[in-house]
Amino acid sequence: MNLYFSIIVPVYNRPEEIRELLESLGKQNFDEDYEIVIVEDGSLERSERIVKNFQESLSISYYFKENSGPGDSRNYGMENAKGNYFIILDSDCILPKQYLSEVKKELETNFVHCFGGPDAADPSFTPVQKAINYVMTSFFTTGGIRGGSTAVGKFQPRSFNMGISKETFENVGGFGRIHPGEDPDLTFRIWKGGYASRLFPKAYVYHKRRIDWNKFYIQVNKFGMVRPILNQWHKGTAKITYWFPTLFMVGLLSSVVLAIMGTLLPIIIFGFYFLLLFFDALVKNKSLKVAFLAIFAALTQFTGYGIGFLKSTILLNFSKREPEALLPKLFFKVK
C-alpha cells in the first residue's frame, strides 16, 4: 500500500514539549509527505502559538477540545487525520532524525497493522530521567521487551510510540477511557480483531519524561492498579510475571526480617541482584550517579507497581462493583 503517515500528538499544558517534538520532526531525513495532528486536550497553557511557528515548514493541523484524556484525544486526532497509517506519539518525545525512515522501512519489508517502538535516553537527559528510563526499559526490572531489540511473541505497543493503520482503527475502534492502560487495552482488541502487532526495534524515540520521584511512584502505582482490570476484561492475557513486583517487595521485606533474626542468605541474594542492576546501569549509562539512582528507581517502581497491583486485585476479587466504581481515578469521563 502507498503509505501516508499522520502523526497524532495529544498535549495537555505542555507547549514547550511540543516545540521540542516539532523541532525533531523538522530534522527528519524523510523526503515523503506526511502530516502532524496536534490535539490540545483542554489545556490552560495552550500550544497554538508554538505550532504556528512551524506551520510554514511542516504540515500541521491543530485542534483544541475539552479535556477528556489522552486516549480520547488520540481518537479525535485519528478521526480528523488524512493519512492511512497513524503514528501516535506522546508530547514528551523527541525523535532521532531517522525515525520516520525506519518506520517506513519496517512497514515496506514486513507490513503490520500495529507496531510499537522502544524508548531511549538522550545524552542531554538529567540523571533522574536516565535512571527512570533505565528501569522502564531494562530486562532486569519490569521494562523487559519495551527496550528489547526483537519482538518476543505478540508485542504490546505503548502509546508514547505506537503505530496503527487506518483500517485497524476503523474496524477495531480506538482507545478506551481507562488511563493508564488504554494502550494494552487497545492492543488486546486489535489482536481479537485478527490483526498482528510487532516491535520496530530501530524506530526508537527519546522519551523525555518530565518527572520526579513522587510523580514516578504515582505513575507506576497506577500501572499496577490497571493491570488486574485488563486481566479481567481480556481473559487469557494474564501472566504470572505480573505478580513479580509484589512478590519481590514481599521477599525483600522478609529477607530484612530474616537478616535481623540471623538468617543472611536471602538478603545476600537480593544484594547480588542490586549489584547486577547497578553494574548494568553503569555500563549502559557510563555514570556512577545514574547507576546509584537506578537502584532507587527500581525500588520505587517495584513498590509502586506491586502495591497498586495487589490493591486492585483484592478490590476486584472481593467486590461485585465495576472497576470504574472501585477505582474511578483510572477512568476519564467522555462527554
Q: Which helix (H) or strand (E) holds 165?
A: strand 161-165
Do 176 and 71 lie in a common domain? yes
Q: Are residues 203 and 259 in the same domain?
A: no
What is the three-class DSSP state of 161?
strand
Asked if 299 and 189 sit in the same domain, the reply is no
Flag whether pLDDT at 235 surpasses 80: yes
* Number of domains into which the chain is organized: 2
Query: pLDDT grade, residue 151 (50/70/90)?
Result: very low
Of 90-104, 135-149, 242-256, 318-332, the least confident: 135-149
Which of 32, 36, 27, 38 has the alpha carbon at shortest distance from 6?
36
Eight-class DSSP state of 334: P
pTM given for the model:
0.90
Structural domain span for residue 233: 224-330
Q: Tell me, what's the pLDDT at 152? A: 41
* 201-210 average pLDDT score: 90
The full DSSP string for 170-195 is HHH----SBSSSHHHHHHHHHHHTT-
Same domain, 37 and 82: yes
Q: Report the CATH number at residue 197.
A: 3.90.550.10
Q: Are residues 106 and 33 in the same domain?
A: yes
**What is the residue-averaged pLDDT of the chain?**
92
